Structure 1
Amino acid sequence: MKTMQWLVKREMWEHKGMLFWTPVVEGAVMALFAATMLLLALTGDDLHATLTVNGSSGSVSHVVGDALGNRDLSQTARLMANTYMTAASPLFLTLGALVFFYCLGALYDERRDRSLLFWKSLPVSDAMTVLSKAGMALAVAPAIVVAVGTLTSLLLLMMLCALLAANGVNVFGQLLATPDLYLTPLRIAALLPVYALWALPTVGWLLMVSAWARSKVLLWALGLPALTVLLAVWANKSFNLMLNTEWFMEDVIGRVLLGVVPGYWFLFDRTQRQAMSESGANALTSADLLSYSWATLGGVSVWIGAAAGAAMIYAAIKLRQSRAEC
């Protein structure tokens, strides 16, 4: 256990700029931009119109409209408590890119700079090393982004409440008394196991390519799936094989390349996507998001993909054992 902890710390030391400082800086920029927009709104004649003109999200404009329209503040507070984590959406989208490029270079970079020879001289197995990198991608990096996203969202929420208070509408009391204010971050954190299972095929594929490719690792990671799709389409049309190429592109290639994008499971699981659309996007709360996300684990496809991802991680371990340099 201590060996794995030190390996994870090593990964954090080596990739702190990518996995830690990138979301922190992005969150700070988001907060600064939001503060600027809210200050402009505060000095404007029409708060609601100013927020809308400056491109604020529809949920923010809706909340401001309800509050300034002297509607039920408790209902407005519940809406704010349930939706304020959506402000961190850019951070969650960035998570997909961070995990993708981290995995892509995780095993290739150490061969390219010859540091692999040093690490292999230590009493640490290849399996432990590869698993520590997979753990960084599937657990540590998402947890960091969730933490930064929560802090950023809370800061933006407090800014909005302060702006409303400056305009004579005080929702602090109702908001702080709303349980969803405290439960929403916990619900987002509860999605981490779901994310890990759906991201496993992509993480496994990228680690395997990273351990195998001798150069141009990005080209191999994207080119092989693209070539497979082209060959499938060509064979289907040339030999009239009646293959479902659309299913192959969406359910196989899509999962291999896009699994690290948070929320991708809703694009893949048609049953839950339909249930969400029937419930109404405007009525979707953090509790609904948690429920629908965990419901996707009831299908067999997620477990098949997870098994395939685990097999590719095993292949990455074997490839690392056999390759000491590019």
Structure 2
Amino acid sequence: MKTMKWLIKREMWEHKGMLVWAPTVIAALIAVLALVAATFDKNISINGDGSPSQMMSVTLEGKVRTQVVETMAQAYMASAAPVLLVLGVLVFFYCLGALHDERRDRSLLFWKSLPVSDSMTVLSKVLLAAVVAPLITLGIGFVLSLLILLIGAVLLLTHGTNVFGELFLTPDLYLTPLRMLGLLPLYVMWALPTVGWLLMVSSMARSKVFLWAVGTPLVTALLLLWAEKAMHIGINSAWFVSNIVSRLLLSVVPGAWLLFDEAHIAMDHAPRRLPVPQTIFSESWATLGNANVWIGVAAGVAMIAVAIWMRRRREEG
């Protein structure tokens, strides 16, 4: 356990700029834009003729006030969406170079001289990509969302409505980030095919890792499409793209399981509407009933095993 801890720390030292500072800078830019928009928010209402006019003080009461507070408490983590989307890009490129870069700069020879197994080394990279990086990004996203929520509440206060009391007493304010944290195991399982594929390619390719990782499934899909259209072979190229290519390249995008599983978050059909975060949470975990999830997990584990085997026999790039 101590060895794994130090291996993960080593990966963090080497990739702090990518995994920590990149999402932090993006979150800071979003926060600055939100603060500027709130500061210069003078013409936020529109007259009947379409001309802007300054908004006067308005006090929200009753049902409208309750709906505004509930919406703010349930949806404030949506502000972190850009940061979470960046997570998919960061994890993708981290895995892409994780095993190739150490062969390219010959640092592999040094790390192999240490009493650390190839299995532990590769697994530390898997844990960093699938667990540590999402936790870091989620923490940054939570701080950003909370800051924007406070900016929105202050903006309402300047226009005559104080929602701080009701907002901090709303359970969803605290449950929403916990639900997102509860999706981490699901993210790990869904991300395994992409993480495994990229690590396997990273352990094999001597150069042009991106072209091998992205080009191989895309060219295969194009060949299957050509065979289907030109040679009239009974091949379903659309199925290959949606179930193989997409899983190999896009599974590290947070929330992608809702698209892959074609889950329906149709709250309007329910007799009692559930809060949006609770619905997304339940629908997300319901995707585990799809066999594609477990096939993807098995494929990801198999590709990680290949990456370990390749690292064991490769000395340099």
Counterpart in 1 of 2:297? 306
Distance, in Å, in 2 between the alignment partners of 1:324 and 1:277 is 58
TM-score normalized by the length of structure 1 = 0.90
State the one-letter code of the partner of 2:12.
Answer: M
Q: Which SS does the other structure have where 1:273 is aligned?
A: coil
Query: Structure 1 counterpart of 2:284, which letter?
Result: S
Does residue 254 of structure 1 match 2:246?
yes
Equivalent residue for 1:35? Answer: 35
The CA distance in 2 between the partners of 1:115 and 1:315, in whole Å, is: 21
Q: Does 2:315 correspond to 1:324?
A: yes
Aligned to 1:121: 113
2:26 aligned residue: 26
Q: Which of the residues 137, 140, 153 maps onto 1:148?
A: 140
Partner of 1:10 in structure 2? Answer: 10
Cα distance in 2 for partners of 1:304, 1:187 equals 25
Does 2:44 correspond to 1:47? Answer: yes
TM-aligned CA distance change 1:49 to 1:252, over 3 Å: farther
Q: Hey, what's the Cα distance between the residues in 1 that align with 2:163 and 2:284?
A: 31
Which of 85, 88, 95 in structure 2 is aligned with 1:93?
A: 85
Mapped pair 1:206 → 2:198: yes
CA–CA distance in structure 2, aligned partners of residues 195 and 276 of structure 1 = 23
Give the superposition deviation at 1:193.
0.8
Give 1:71 shift. Answer: 5.3
Q: Distance in 1 between matches of 2:201 and 2:186?
A: 24
Counterpart CA distance in 2 for 1:198 and 1:35 is 35
Separation in 1, partners of 2:223, 2:250: 20
1:233 paired with 2:230, answer no
Residue 68 of structure 1: how far off its partner (Å): 5.7
Match of 1:170 among 150, 162, 166: 162
Matched, 1:266 2:263: no
CA separation of 1:28/1:264 partners in 2, compared to 1, >3 Å: closer, same or farther? same
Question: Which secondary structure does the structure 1 equivalent of 2:40 belong to?
Answer: helix
- Residues 1:293 and 2:284 are matched in the alignment: yes
CA separation in 1, counterparts of 2:122 and 2:241?
28
Contact 1:276 1:292 (C-alpha < 8 Å) held by counterparts: no
Structure 1 pair 47–234 and aligned structure 2 pair: CA distance change class (3 A): closer
Amino acid in the other structure paired with 2:202: S
Give the equivalent residue in structure 2 for 1:56: none
Instruction: Return 5+ residue gaps in structure 2 as ranges.
Output: none
- RMSD over aligned CA atoms reads 2.1
CA distance in 1 between counterparts of 2:86 and 2:24 reads 11
What is the letter of the counterpart of residue 26 of structure 1?
Answer: I
Q: How far 1:70 moved relative to its partner?
A: 4.5
Deviations, residues 99-155 of structure 1 (Å, cap 9, x unaligned) = 000000000111111110000000000000000001011000001111110010000
Cα distance between partner residues in 1 of 2:282 and 2:265: 14
Structure 2 SS opposite 1:15: helix
In the alignment of these two chains, the number of paired residues is: 307
Any conservation in 2 of the 1:74–1:175 contact (CA below 8 Å)? no
- Consecutive unaligned residues of structure 1, counting only runs of 5 or more, are 54-63
- Matched residues in 1 for 2:46 and 2:83: separation? 27
Distance 1:278 1:264, change over 3 A: farther
Tell me, in whole angstroms, the C-alpha distance in 1 between the residues paired with 2:59 and 2:235: 57
User: Percent identical across equivalent pairs?
Assistant: 54
The 8 Å contact of residues 138 and 199 in structure 1, kept in 2 or not, is answered as: yes
Q: Does 1:136 align with 2:136?
A: no
Q: Which residue of 1 aligns with 2:172?
A: 180
Cα distance per residue 1:150-207 (max 9 Å; x no partner)? 0100000001101111111000001011010011100011111111111110000000
AA of the residue aligned to 2:300: G
Cα drift, residue 278 of structure 1: 5.2
Taking the aligned partners of 1:238 and 1:276, their CA distance within structure 2 comes to: 44
Deviates more, 1:283-292 or 1:28-37: 283-292
Q: Give 2:39's aligned amino acid.
A: L
Instruction: Answer 1 or 2: which has greater helix percent.
Output: 1
Deviation of the 1:283 alpha carbon: 7.3
Relative distance call for 1:233 and 1:178 in structure 2 (3 A) is same
